[in-house]
């Protein structure tokens, strides 16, 4: 087993573990978990490391980096069995060569499949199907906290529901089977509205069968709307256009904004320029540039490294879909107020996904009701810390639910309140499976003990 040393690990875990290891087999993971003397707790499994909370931190403990376990083990027309370290992009590329694709419309394809199954995600799903990536897992193989191994199959729905979005607290996943399907094309429709008009549009979007993604620009009073509908017989779209979209949103725009900050340090002069740049990027992407596509097209291609060391900061909250029009307007007001108070504002558009209700995982943020998520993003990070606190305050007042892997600034009390009885049930199983707290770090201890 190799010792893992990389900038990715240092940035993602943000603490000094006693050691970081890269196992290549389930036997090696068992050897780590069953030997507390040699491999001290907390033991934290890590995929790509793009989580933005301290869920991956293991001070004085052991990081288990799974990226070397990245093989495809079996593939047929309906399912694929993989090791957890393969990235969504690598898997999507392999599937595309067979005319197949993953379920779900999410755009950050650099994530590991294991991380996407064990952590909460965002996904603009068409129709009323589940919206967690993990919902499409039909069986899992796990090394338990004591080093023994167990399997969970599709007929054990309660246990599958616990293991999806379990954040590596019930064991380390070393093999998993996901549903796949033949590539399906969708059409993309776009529109733009002001925040006031959006209050009337939001209830319709909450019920729409189209997958819904929005880009909020509070300072331009603009919301860009992107709707996707399944369309048999439509052309699949152009890969170059989808690659351009990924490059523009996750690479070119943040880089341009960072360079701008160096050239124009005065914020009051810089922000209008960054708004114009962001709006121009959105306008280009939504003005008929992307008229059709598929999950396969969106998830293949090259991506930059997101995560703790990413060139932009990121924080997600989820809000009940039924009242989202009002919440979006309140978000605009909060951003304007924060700016007038502190002089800081996010210089990238906030990204919104509509998540259907999803009961496939006990800890799904959208378990009880459909939600809209707001992910605030910024390339300018001076002042981000205070913004995250104001955002948490705003979320608490507006029925916001945090994600354990994507919501820096969430308070323990609020998370316990929002996840309520589901968290209590999860906690009970965790204590049974991990009585010695091998996999528990300080971050999770406040929610799980
Ligand atoms: C800039 C940016 C953009 C983002 N955009 C999106 C987006 O569009 N959609 C979205 O859904 N998310 C997005 N995220 C959030 C992030 O990608 C998710 O949290 C994702 O699930 C993390 O995948 P990962 O491989 O990086 O997992 P990690 O961060 O490495 O791990 C996630 C959790 O799973 C656990 N884990 C990992 N592997 C295993 C395993 N094999 N067994 C048991 N537990 C394991 C870890 O301990 C951790 O608790 C974004 C994040 C950033 C920083």
The helix (run of H) or strand (run of E) holding residue 226 is strand 222-230
402: its two tokens: 């945090």
Q: Is the CB of 217 under 6 A from ligand 1?
A: no
Same domain, yes or no: 27 and 131: no
Q: Is the CB of 26 under 6 A from ligand 1?
A: no
Instruction: Using most ligand atoms within 8 A of CB, pick from 118, 295, 371 the residue to mutate for ligand 1.
Output: 118
Same domain, yes or no: 207 and 191: yes
Q: Is the CB of 48 under 6 A from ligand 1?
A: yes
| Residue 419 falls inside a structural domain | no
Which atom of ligand 1 is nearest the CA belonging to 47?
30
The helix (run of H) or strand (run of E) holding residue 139 is strand 137-143
Cα separation, 165 vs 120, in Å, equals 6
Same domain, yes or no: 137 and 192: no
Q: Which domain holds residue 319?
A: 185-411
Same domain, yes or no: 58 and 86: no
Same domain, yes or no: 275 and 209: yes
Instruction: Using most ligand atoms within 8 A of CB, pick from 114, 131, 384 the residue to mutate for ligand 1.
Output: 114
Task: Using the 3D structure, point to which of 126, 156, 183 is the last residue of a domain.
Answer: 183
Q: Is the CB of 108 under 6 A from ligand 1?
A: yes
CATH of the domain at 87: 3.30.465.10
pLDDT tens for the 449 residues of the chain, in order: 777 767 667 767 667 777 999 999 999 999 999 999 999 999 999 999 989 999 999 999 999 999 999 999 999 999 999 999 999 989 999 999 999 999 876 677 788 999 999 999 998 788 888 889 999 999 999 999 999 999 999 999 999 999 999 999 999 999 999 999 999 888 888 899 999 999 999 999 999 899 999 999 999 999 999 898 888 766 666 777 777 777 777 777 878 888 888 888 888 888 888 888 888 887 777 666 677 788 887 777 665 554 444 577 899 999 999 999 999 999 999 999 999 999 999 999 999 999 999 999 999 999 999 999 999 999 888 899 999 999 999 999 999 999 999 999 999 999 999 999 999 999 999 999 999 999 999 999 999 87
Q: Is the CB of 51 under 6 A from ligand 1?
A: yes
Q: What angle do CA 273, 278, 282 make, to 5 degrees?
A: 145
Calculate how far, in angstroms, residue 272's C-alpha sits from the geometric centre of ligand 1.
Answer: 33
Q: Is the CB of 122 under 6 A from ligand 1?
A: yes
CATH of the domain at 238: 3.40.462.10
Nearest CA to ligand 1 atom 49: 167
| Residue 432 falls inside a structural domain | no
Helix (H, G, I), strand (E, B) or coil at 310: coil
């Amino acid at each position: 087993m190799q010792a893992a040393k990389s900038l990715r690990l240092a940035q993602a875990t943000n603490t000094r573990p006693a050691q970081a290891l890269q196992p290549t087999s389930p036997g090696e993971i068992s050897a780590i978990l069953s030997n507390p003397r040699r491999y001290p707790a907390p033991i934290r499994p890590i995929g790509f490391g793009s989580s933005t909370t301290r869920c991956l931190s293991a001070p004085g403990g052991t990081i288990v980096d799974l990226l070397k376990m990245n093989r495809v083990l079996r593939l047929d027309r309906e399912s694929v069995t993989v090791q957890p370290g393969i990235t969504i992009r690598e898997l999507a590329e392999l599937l595309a060569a067979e005319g197949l694709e993953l379920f779900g419309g999410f755009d950050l394809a650099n994530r590991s499949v294991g991380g996407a199954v064990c952590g909460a995600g965002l996904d603009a799903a068409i129709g009323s199907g589940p919206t967690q990536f993990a919902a499409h897992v039909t069986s899992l193989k796990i090394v338990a906290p004591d080093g023994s191994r167990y399997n969970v199959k599709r007929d054990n729905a309660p246990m599958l529901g616990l293991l999806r979005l379990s954040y590596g607290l019930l064991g380390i996943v070393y093999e998993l089977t996901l549903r796949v399907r033949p590539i399906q094309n969708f059409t993309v429709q776009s529109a733009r509205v002001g925040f006031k008009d959006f209050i009337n549009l939001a209830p319709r979007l909450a019920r729409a069968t189209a997958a819904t993604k929005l880009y909020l620009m509070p300072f331009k009073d603009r919301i860009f709307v992107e709707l996707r509908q399944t369309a048999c017989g439509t052309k699949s779209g152009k890969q170059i256009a989808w690659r351009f979209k990924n490059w523009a949103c996750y690479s070119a725009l943040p880089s341009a904004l960072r360079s701008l900050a160096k050239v124009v340090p005065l914020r009051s002069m810089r922000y209008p320029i960054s708004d114009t740049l962001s709006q121009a990027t959105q306008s280009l992407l939504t003005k008929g540039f992307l008229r059709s596509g598929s999950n396969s097209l969106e998830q293949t291609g090259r991506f930059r490294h997101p995560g703790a060391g990413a060139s932009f900061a990121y924080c997600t909250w989820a809000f009940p879909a039924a009242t989202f029009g009002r919440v979006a307007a309140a978000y605009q007001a909060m951003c304007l107020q924060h700016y007038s108070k502190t002089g800081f504002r996010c210089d990238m558009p906030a990204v919104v996904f509509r998540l259907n209700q999803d009961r496939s995982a006990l800890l799904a943020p959208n378990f009880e009701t459909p939600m809209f998520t707001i992910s605030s993003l910024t390339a300018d990070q001076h002042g981000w810390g205070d913004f995250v606190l104001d955002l948490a305050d705003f979320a608490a007042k507006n029925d916001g639910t945090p994600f354990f892997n994507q919501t820096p600034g969430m308070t323990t009390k609020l998370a316990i309140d929002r996840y309520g009885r589901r968290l209590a049930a999860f906690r009970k199983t965790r204590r049974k499976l991990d009585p010695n707290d091998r996999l528990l770090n300080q971050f999770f201890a406040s929610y799980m003990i």
